């Protein structure tokens, strides 16, 4: 339980950084942290006590996998969500560089002022 809750704490910290911080790079940091927290939560949810990786190795008894294998579905979801996060990040960094080139600052409040 406490593990789930801690990953939610991580989520909240990321969201706080995303919303309340003025600096664009800090906002990117925030979105990266929220992604970590979700991935962590999904993997935690799928863990089984004394679990083994959901991969059938040569010479491994199939029953052992069924008995002890951890939930493979969240892992597939996390793989997808990591890649989605990477895509979002690439777009954000591109926007961030472009805005720096236009406004010469990373500070959102200054950008708002410059825009007039």
> Interaction with other proteins in 81-100: which residues (CB under 8 A)?
81-84, 86-100
To the nearest whole angstrom, how small is the minimum distance from the Cβ of residue 24 to other proteins?
7
To the nearest whole angstrom, how small is the minimum distance from the Cβ of residue 113 to other proteins?
12
What pairs with residue 69 in β-bridges? 52
> Interaction with other proteins in 56-75: which residues (CB under 8 A)?
56-58, 62, 65-66, 69-75
How far is C-alpha 65 from the geometric centre of its chain's CA atoms? 28
Q: Distance (Å, rounded) from C-alpha 38 to C-alpha 82?
A: 10
To the nearest whole angstrom, how small is the minimum distance from the Cβ of residue 89 to other proteins?
6
Binding-residue pattern over the window 16 to 55 for other proteins, x denoting contact by CB under 8 A: xxxxxxxxxxxxxxxxxxxxx-xxxxxxxxxxxx-xxxxx
C-alpha dihedral (74, 79, 83, 89), degrees to nearest 10? 60
To the nearest whole angstrom, how small is the minimum distance from the Cβ of residue 67 to other proteins?
9
Query: Residues binding other proteins: what is the number (CB under 8 A)?
Result: 101
Q: Does 113 bind other proteins (CB under 8 A)?
A: no
Phi and psi angles of residue 69, each rounded to the nearest 5 degrees, phi first: -60, 140
Select from 22, 33, 28 the least CA-distant residue to 89.
Answer: 28
């Amino acid at each position: 339980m406490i593990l789930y809750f801690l990953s939610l704490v991580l989520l909240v910290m990321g969201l706080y950084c995303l919303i309340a911080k003025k600096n664009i790079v800090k906002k990117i940091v925030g979105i990266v942290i929220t992604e970590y927290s979700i991935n962590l939560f999904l993997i935690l949810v799928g863990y089984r006590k004394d679990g083994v990786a959901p991969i059938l190795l040569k010479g491994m008894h199939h029953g052992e996998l069924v008995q002890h294998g951890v939930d493979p579905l969240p892992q597939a979801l996390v793989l997808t969500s990591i890649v989605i996060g990477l895509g979002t990040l690439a777009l954000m960094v591109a926007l961030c560089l472009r805005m720096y080139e236009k406004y010469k600052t990373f500070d959102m409040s200054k950008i708002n002022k410059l825009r007039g």
